[in-house]
Amino acid sequence: MKILLLGSGGREHTLAWKIAKSPLVKMLYIAPGNAGTANIGENIDLPVNDFSVIKQFVLEKEINMVVVGPEAPLVDGITDFFEQDIQLSHISVIGPGKAGAQLEGSKAWSKKFMQKNNIPTARFLEVSPENMSEGFKFLETLKPPFVLKADGLAAGKGVLILSSLKEAKDELKNMLNGKFGAASQKVVIEEYLQGIELSVFFVTDGTHYRLLPEAKDYKRIGEGDTGLNTGGMGAVSPVPFADAGFMAKVEKQIIQPTIAGLKAENINYRGFVFLGLMNDGGSPFVIEYNVRLGDPETEVVLPRLETDLVEIFKAMAENKLDTITMSFLPQTAATVMLVSKGYPEKYEKGKTITGLESVNDSFVFHAGTKQENDTVLTNGGRVIAVTSLGHSMDDALAKSYAAIDEINFEGKTFRRDIGQDLKEYVTG
């Protein structure tokens, strides 16, 4: 089978690594990829949002399957583009069509979907410029902090959490006046949820589903969960508080009604679902849906997956996910992200990375890197994720931190407290 994987981050390097292990794969192309994926398959410089350019490439190379890493091509309809094109419709695309991608592409749509399907989530109101005063009134009924979300995709920056009512009202006005461009023409105001967050992933063919390992990610730049939000600074899997009782509630109260709800809307969803959940005293609430894998969660989820991922994809494409048995390694996986100094604000690129070859006991997943001759250079805010497997979380973390000592680039920045908040939940 010939596979084209779209994307260029740590998630995609990990996907490429896992896909390439499958005996079903004859050739793997990654567009555009990074210095890590270049060692696994062939990087191709294609724009992931230009479907006609992708079409040409897919036909020329006789690609059988397209795996979509990031959300934007899904929200823009790449799956529908393939299904509707007579030359492409036989090719499987792993990822939902435009309708299903609204779960991530429109916060208002996803909140209404949850409400309709009785899926536990925070109380909310959808606001547009016409009913801003209703928005103010709803805010007055809530207790601080106040949560405002741009309806559309806003590069991970569209959620504001504000401590005073005045700030919340001012920001609501700013958002509706275009603070996030078209993405905040509509805004969702939400009640603030208490508890501890985790990420749960499943794959579905629209009828059946299979869970992947769950993970906890660390979003803030600073230790102790302080400072600005980032794409993610590290992750751990499994999550000790996601015990069998909790996960049974997630399946019954969230996953099964999600699949039934999509079916009821006539949405044929084939792909990953990423549930951003809050665990409030043992009860799960959906903070958000994503229609892709998480980053850096993928860097701990896939190393624990023993099942052949391409077999899973093939079964999804054939509506036979019920034939797949999932198997996970019992070990803990921990990843720590090395980022550029200044990230998530301004940072420099093009710094030489050294020491990668000295890492033996961990996986080095590239995020923002590029190869120039024999040198690997930084090429993004998040640069490298170092993942280790261990018999305990401490063991996995110790291996990752030891590997990090070997890797150097000017401005290397990382959090030293990944996983520390989970210690109180670890038993035995």
Q: Name the residues that contact ligand GLY, by CB under 6 A.
A: 217, 232, 290, 294-295, 297
Q: Does 287 bind ligand AMP (CB under 6 A)?
A: yes
Q: Which of 365, 401, 399 is nearest to 383 (CA)?
A: 365
> Whole-number minimum distance, CB 192 to ligand AMP, in Å?
4
390 three-class SS: strand
Q: Does 291 bind ligand AMP (CB under 6 A)?
A: no
Which residue number, 121 or 204, has a Cβ lying nearer to ligand AMP? Answer: 121
Pairing type for strands 234-237 and 216-217 reads antiparallel
10 three-class SS: helix
Stretch of residues binding ligand AMP (CB under 6 A), selected from 126-134, 189-197, 241-249, 372-380: 189-197
Which residue number, 104 or 308, has a Cβ lying nearer to ligand GLY? Answer: 104
Q: Does 171 bind ligand AMP (CB under 6 A)?
A: no
Which residue number, 84 or 229, has a Cβ lying nearer to ligand AMP? Answer: 229
- Residue 390: count other Cβ atoms within 10 Å of its Cβ: 18
Q: How far are the Cα atoms of 13, 30, 376 from residue 39, in angstroms, in the given order?
A: 10, 11, 12
Out of 25, 66, 93, 122, name the contact with ligand AMP by CB under 6 A.
122
Q: Which of 76, 262, 60 is nearest to 68 (CA)?
A: 76
Which residue number, 198 or 321, has a Cβ lying nearer to ligand GLY? Answer: 198
Which residue number, 217 or 299, has a Cβ lying nearer to ligand AMP? Answer: 217
Q: Which tokens belong to 388?
A: 């280790």
Out of 288, 311, 394, 417, name the contact with ligand AMP by CB under 6 A.
288
Cβ pair 383, 338 in contact under 8 A: yes
Partner whose footprint covers residue 112, from ligand GLY, ligand AMP, none (CB < 5 to 8 Å by kind):
none
Angle between helices 98-105 and 107-116 (to 10 degrees): 100
Phi and psi at residue 67, to the nearest 5°: -110, 125
Out of 197, 223, 265, 395, name the contact with ligand AMP by CB under 6 A.
197
Which residue number, 298 or 331, has a Cβ lying nearer to ligand GLY? Answer: 298
Partner residues linked to 25 by β-bridges: none
Per-residue 3-state assignment (H helix, E strand, C coil) for 334-376? EEEEEECCCCCCCCCCCCEEECHHHCCCCEEEECCEEEECCEE
Q: Which tokens belong to 139?
A: 């805010």
Which residue number, 161 or 317, has a Cβ lying nearer to ligand AMP? Answer: 161
Residue 410, phi-psi category: left (phi > 0), alpha (psi -120 to 50), beta (remainder): beta
Which residue number, 36 or 135, has a Cβ lying nearer to ligand GLY? Answer: 36
Out of 57, 192, 241, 401, name the contact with ligand AMP by CB under 6 A.
192
Partner whose footprint covers residue 232, from ligand GLY, ligand AMP, none (CB < 5 to 8 Å by kind):
ligand GLY
Binding to ligand AMP, residues 264-283 (CB under 6 A): 276
Out of 4, 75, 108, 147, name the contact with ligand AMP by CB under 6 A.
147
112 three-class SS: helix
What CA–CA distance (Å, rounded) separates 355 from 109? 46
Size of the site for ligand AMP (CB under 6 A): 12
What CA–CA distance (Å, rounded) separates 170 from 229? 21
Partner whose footprint covers residue 297, from ligand AMP, ligand GLY, none (CB < 5 to 8 Å by kind):
ligand GLY
Q: How far are the Cα atoms of 36, 112, 188, 277 from residue 202, in angstroms, in the given order?
A: 26, 21, 26, 13
What CA–CA distance (Å, rounded) separates 337 from 35? 16
> Whole-number minimum distance, CB 415 to ligand AMP, in Å?
16
Partner whose footprint covers residue 80, from ligand AMP, ligand GLY, none (CB < 5 to 8 Å by kind):
none
> Whole-number minimum distance, CB 371 to ligand GLY, in Å?
25
Out of 30, 75, 175, 193, name the contact with ligand AMP by CB under 6 A.
193
> Whole-number minimum distance, CB 384 to ligand GLY, in Å?
16
For binding to ligand AMP (CB under 6 A), which residues are involved?
Answer: 122, 147, 149, 159, 190, 192-193, 197, 219, 276, 287-288
